[in-house]
Amino acid sequence: MRIGISTGGGDCPGLNAVIRAAVKTAVGTLGHEAVGVEDGLEGLLRPNKLVQLSPARVRGLLPRGGTILGANNRANPFAYPVRGAEGVQEQDISDAVLGRLETLGIDAMMFIGGDGTQTIAQRLREKGLQVVGVPKTIDNDLMATDYTFGFDTAVNIAMEALDRLHTTAESHDRVLLLEVMGRDAGWIAMHAGLAGGADVILLPEIPWRFDAVLDKLERRRRAGTTFSIVVVAEGATELGGEAVVQEEALPGRVRRLGGAAERLADRLTDAGWEARAIVLGHIQRGGTPTAFDRVLATRLGHHAARMMDEGRYGRMAALRGTDIVDVDLTEAAGKVKVIGPDSSLLHAARDIDVSLGEG
Ligand code: F6P
């Protein structure tokens, strides 16, 4: 069998570890052939964008961040940006993609990606392609898997940033606000905030109130603590307000968020506090994966290769508890996993007096 492997959406620590495990299993152990499609599905639309993948080619990849196949979050074949007389417009070019796969003799595709990629995989499956999914996102917001690889690395990076911000916040008696990624779900903000001892954590799931944030800062000041640390997910919104958008959605792309922490810092400054906002940005996505992510990525890549060998298509490898299982792609595609109102994370945060900006 000739297997195609593609990494879709934004990059993420652990992608190379998935590719490595999938190739070692599928090619080295099971005797199939594997080719990497470069730059997401863009690689199927342009010449010379396939790379032969062998166990020798994936050697040394475990600690390497990014993806050797390139990533692309603008190559959705069902909404592909095409420049025409009326500017750039989204077109469905999925038939061309399927035709190209046939020409290339690719029997089945392994799609490593987040919600957008798994949705594309599901739609291509509906058109007859043999697909297997591997869940990926630093945001951890993909349904049907308990964790995605890349998340643990992002949380550790954000936690280290918070540890560093503590010492400078304390020295200067300041409120320091750290903006982390998380458009629709606050998993990074919540985990990093708890691990890094934040005083306030603002999530996309819980609209915040300025008075509630002020109340927490004032209580700390009255208790003699002159600094505070606030973690803000990029998608967190004030009650009745909107997310802070850097760039509206262009054809084939989602809108770009950013600036939520800066906006809150400005409000705090106006209220007489000395506040600074720091955007952690893509530092969360770069660099070497943690041990947890390397192991999770390896297990998922291995499982996905086995699924293909056994003909279990239309499914996505997933972590359930401590087991690697596989689930129907429809359980993940098009759905976002948020922190639910009954999450023990929320209860723990409230009970240890971390403000979530509510009330
Ligand atoms: O989905 C992962 C993610 O890192 C989001 O948290 C973030 O909003 C987005 O990607 C940023 O995308 P880009 O790299 O295209 O700006």
DSSP string computed for 234-251: TT--BTT----EEEPPPT
pLDDT, tens only, 270-316:
999 999 999 999 999 999 999 999 999 999 999 999 999 999 999 99
The binding-site residues of ligand 1, defined as CB within 6 angstroms of any ligand atom, are: 10, 73, 114, 137-139, 181-183, 234, 256-257, 285
Per-residue model confidence (pLDDT) at position 359: 82
Per-residue model confidence (pLDDT) at position 126: 98
pLDDT, tens only, 215-245:
999 999 999 999 999 999 999 999 999 999 9
Mean pLDDT of the chain: 97
The alpha carbon of 353 and the centre of ligand 1 are apart by a number of angstroms equal to 30
* DSSP state letter for 62: T
Per-residue model confidence (pLDDT) at position 251: 84
Q: Which of 74, 181, 203, 244 to probe ligand 1 with, by most ligand atoms within 8 A of CB?
A: 181
pLDDT, tens only, 309-342:
999 999 999 999 999 999 999 999 999 999 999 9
Per-residue model confidence (pLDDT) at position 210: 98
pLDDT higher than 90, residue 47: no
Q: What is the largest CA-CA distance in the chain?
A: 71
pLDDT higher than 90, residue 266: yes
pLDDT higher than 90, residue 65: yes
Per-residue model confidence (pLDDT) at position 348: 98
Mean pLDDT of 162-191: 98
Of 343, 357, 174, nearest in space to 260 by CA: 357
Per-residue model confidence (pLDDT) at position 73: 86
Instruction: Assign 344 to helix, strand or coil.
Output: helix
Per-residue model confidence (pLDDT) at position 253: 82
Cβ partners under 8 Å of residue 131, min gap 6 = 108, 109, 110, 111, 121, 122, 124, 125, 313, 314, 329
Residue nearest to atom 10 of ligand 1 (CA): 10
The alpha carbon of 187 and the centre of ligand 1 are apart by a number of angstroms equal to 14
Which ligand 1 atom minimizes the distance to the CA of 258? 8
Residue nearest to atom 4 of ligand 1 (CA): 181
Residue nearest to atom 16 of ligand 1 (CA): 256
Q: Which of the residues 39, 139, 141, 326 is marked catalytic?
A: 139
pLDDT confidence bin for 166, thresholds 50/70/90: very high
Residue nearest to atom 7 of ligand 1 (CA): 181
Per-residue model confidence (pLDDT) at position 289: 98
The alpha carbon of 175 and the centre of ligand 1 are apart by a number of angstroms equal to 26
pLDDT higher than 90, residue 131: yes
Which ligand 1 atom minimizes the distance to the CA of 114? 1
* 139 carries an active-site annotation: yes
Q: Which of 139, 190, 255, 284 to probe ligand 1 with, by most ligand atoms within 8 A of CB?
A: 139
pLDDT higher than 90, residue 74: no
pLDDT higher than 90, residue 45: no
Which ligand 1 atom minimizes the distance to the CA of 235? 8
Q: Tell me if 357 sits within 8 A of 268, measured CB to CB.
A: no
Per-residue model confidence (pLDDT) at position 226: 92
